[in-house]
Amino acid sequence: MCGIVGVVGNRNATDILMQGLEKLEYRGYDSAGIYVIDNPDNSRLIKSVGRIADLRSKIGIDVAGATGIGHTRWATHGQATEENAHPHTSATGRFILVHNGVIENYLQIKEDFLAGHDLKGQTDTEIAVHLVGQFVEDGLSVLEAFKKALHIIEGSYAFALIDSQDPETIYVAKNKSPLLIGLGEGYNMVCSDAMAMIRETSQFMEIHDKELVILTKDQALVSDYDGHPIERDSYTAELDLSDIGKGTYPFYMLKEIDEQPTVMRKLISTYADEQGQMTVDPAIIKSVQEADRIYILAAGTSYNAGFASKSMIETLTDTPVELGIASEWGYNMPLLSKKPMFILLSQSGETADSRQVLVKANAMGIPSLTITNVPGSTLSREASYTMLLHAGPEIAVASTKAYTAQIAALAFLSKAVGEANGKKEALDFDLVHELSLVAQSIEATLTEKDLIADKVEKLLATTRNAFYIGRGNDYYVAMEASLKLKEISYIQCEGFAAGELKHGTISLIEDDTPVLALISSSEVVAAHTRGNIQEVAARGANVLTVVEEGLHKEDDDIVVNQVHPYLSSISMVIPTQLIAYYASLQRGLDVDKPRNLAKAVTVE
Ligand code: F6R
């Protein structure tokens, strides 16, 4: 989604903005722009459709100054054109603004306050900067005009505003959309996420919803919209610059797939001590123990991770688990149990759909736990409790290591709760040992990349559609595997419960339709899935099998080391991540930045 970066102070703003925007590329965007100002008589606004590289090619040495704002736009209102790209300017050109989010009442504002204003594009953003400009024309100071606009604007937003007559200040405000302040010596910054600023500083300051910040080179003054000052401490980010590089890898996705054994081991050292005792926060354990039902709310891959963990959580904790699609539950909350507990699963911790559910849950007094990869993210701050994934930054849009880390984190939570409940299944389950075996199983699969690339070339080179099938946990892995394949290779793919295919969808199977079958469950279940493979093969399907060792046969295509059944979703998903990766690579696509997608989906 849209990304913001801004800087004021004693630095080369053009350089910092461009580096920052490059670091934000992973979030997904379709146009970009920067505004740089040296003094009121020397400023430049440059925008471009397409990649940051296209923007860079338009920037000459004349674009220089110590203050500036930059933006990557993921189109919501209006197409990806230069007119709609940010920064936007007020009617006279005096004010310049970037925005992330959606202004819900922009048409009303236009009607009520901006009659006669000539807007250049179709965005909701442009009205915000026109509004500030209009209020200043009406006689308000810049600060008063910004505050008045903030009182009127409804929806989600992160704003950074510059008055070209005062190049030493950036006005910042946010509601629901992520925004952070970065603090330097003689300069300060504002940005959608820490990754874009980590090259410049490791000192950050949070901004909460409906707060305004006046940013100068020496100060970041926080207040509410009525001007009451707010004290806010800074913190040091743990991010390491080397974590966000891709080293010698051609794509981040491959690096992140390869990092999964390390992530599993990191989770072991985080959530268990050297004796193998769980170190999950006792307050979280108690909260889950008190619940009569666990509700997992998430979107996309995180939702799939919830499903892949459902039966493990139920078996280990004895508590029923229900899954909810966040974008549905935010406004259509079903009848809940008497003592619900909500678990928000989110790699980014910023997904607007999930946040809407959390806002509702908080209003209803429901205890909540966010399991996320990003400390200090919105969902983490606003939930009752947080468990971190410790997977390191995930830059590729297609989530891989966050998915497997989510299942592993839920395993630690489930075992800790089950032990506290005295459940035999939990007490007997040596999670530390079993997860070490999972790490080894992943390592073994990672040595099969050439084999997998070869199978993919034969199976998926030209196809427009495909199916994944499986039963039990393999069905849930099939859902994730098909999401991964379609999002980065653009092959239309469905994940099916193997037994369900013959109830309708089998009519789509014709000569050479690729069907990828996952088999990791018990022998009986495996036999049923093999029966389903026969059914599709008899109708011409081209079948590829991914089978757990012990259940495999000689002519199976990919064999995965056996792991504990609670954790098989982790080991079984690895080949499917590589299948998606090679399918995308072989089609010459941008593996890390698939079209139309964004990494942090910060609009509903
Ligand atoms: C797909 C993918 C998405 C996200 C979804 C939710 O590879 O990453 O489906 O899982 O947008 O995002 P988070 O997990 O950040 O809440």
Q: Which atom of ligand 1 is nearest to the CA of 351?
A: 16
**Which protein residue's CA is at the shortest distance from atom 7 of ligand 1?**
398
Find the residues whose C-beta lies inside 6 A of ligand 1: 299-302, 346-348, 351, 354, 398-399, 487, 601
pLDDT per position as a tens digit, 386-401:
999 999 989 999 999 9
The length of the chain in residues reads 604
- Look over the chain and give the mean of its residue pLDDT values, rounded to a whole number: 94
Q: Is the pLDDT of residue 176 over 90?
A: no
Tell me if 54 sits within 8 A of 18, measured CB to CB. Answer: no
Q: What is the mean pLDDT of residues 168-173?
A: 98
Nearest to 456 by CA among 578, 594, 591: 578
Q: Which atom of ligand 1 is nearest to the CA of 379?
A: 16
CATH architecture of 3-242: 4-Layer Sandwich (3.60)
* Distance between CA atoms of residues 367 and 369, nearest Å: 7
Q: Which atom of ligand 1 is nearest to the CA of 601?
A: 11
Cα of 347 vs centre of ligand 1, distance in Å, is 7
What is the model's pTM?
0.84
Higher pLDDT: 603 or 574? It is: 574
pLDDT band for 252, please (50, 70, 90 cuts).
very high
Give me the helices (H) in 296-448, please.
Answer: 300-317, 326-329, 352-363, 378-382, 401-420, 424-428, 431-446
Q: In what order do the strands lie in the sheet with 95-103?
A: 88-89, 95-103, 155-163, 170-175, 211-215, 220-224, 229-230
Higher pLDDT: 63 or 586? It is: 586
pLDDT per position as a tens digit, 2-60:
899 999 998 999 999 999 999 888 777 889 999 999 999 999 999 999 889 999 999 88
Name the helix (H) or strand (E) containing 188.
Answer: strand 187-191
Burial 67-97 (b: 16+ CB within 10 A, else e): bbbbbbbbbeebeebebbbbbbbbbeebbbb
Specify the amino acid at residue 383: A
Q: Is the pLDDT of residue 282 over 80?
A: yes
Let me know if 493 is a catalytic residue.
no
pLDDT band for 78, please (50, 70, 90 cuts).
confident
**Which DSSP symbol is given to 551?**
T
Q: Is the pLDDT of residue 135 over 80?
A: yes
pLDDT per position as a tens digit, 469-499:
999 999 999 999 999 999 999 999 999 999 9
Let me know if 599 is a catalytic residue.
yes
Higher pLDDT: 62 or 388? It is: 388
Nearest to 426 by CA among 436, 412, 405, 437: 412
Specify the amino acid at residue 182: G
Looking at the DSSP bridge assignments, the partners of residue 230 are 222
pLDDT per position as a tens digit, 349-373:
999 999 999 999 999 999 999 999 9
Tell me if 442 sits within 8 A of 344, measured CB to CB. Answer: no
pLDDT band for 145, please (50, 70, 90 cuts).
very high
* CATH 3.40.50.10490 residue window(s) in the chain: 448-590
The CA angle 250-252-253, to the nearest 5 degrees, is 105
Question: For the domain bounded by 448-590, which CATH number is listed?
Answer: 3.40.50.10490
* CATH 3.60.20.10 residue window(s) in the chain: 3-242
% of the chain at pLDDT higher than 70: 99
What's the pLDDT at 475?
97
Q: What is the mean pLDDT of residues 574-582?
A: 98
Nearest to 6 by CA among 17, 15, 14: 17
Find where tokens 């920064």 sit.
Answer: 87
